[in-house]
Amino acid sequence: MISRVWHGWTNHQNADVYEELLRKEIFLGIAKRSIQGYRGIHLLRRDVDDEVESVTIMWFASLDAVRAFAGEDYEVAVVPPEARQLLSRFDSHSTHYQVIETPA
């Protein structure tokens, strides 16, 4: 199992709009792609001073599945234009981890 981790930041005014975009459009669009080996996504959020940080953790069966999602240069972040408009900054690359242990 591979975990793909990415961070983005928005201001407080855009935080709820950004979260709604993720949950109602972007995440559903990813699911509709029916990528073989895609196992889902988690969204984390926290207030940090004058920003709101969002973290996505995507789950894939293999790096081949990650490539099916993100392309051959799979470490490059996949950030749709409508999300970029709401973000003040974001990671240009995602980080990938081999999952060693999961909850029972």
pLDDT tens track for 35-54: 999 999 999 999 999 999 99
Asked if residue 14 belongs to a domain, the reply is: yes
Asked if residue 104 belongs to a domain, the reply is: no
| Assessment of whether the complete model's pTM goes beyond 0.85 | yes
Rounded Cα gap, residues 81 and 18, in angstroms: 12
pLDDT tens track for 21-32: 999 999 999 999
CATH number of the domain enclosing 73 = 3.30.70.100
Rounded Cα gap, residues 51 and 13, in angstroms: 9
Total structural domains in the chain? 1
Rounded Cα gap, residues 62 and 25, in angstroms: 25
What is the reported pLDDT for 100? 96
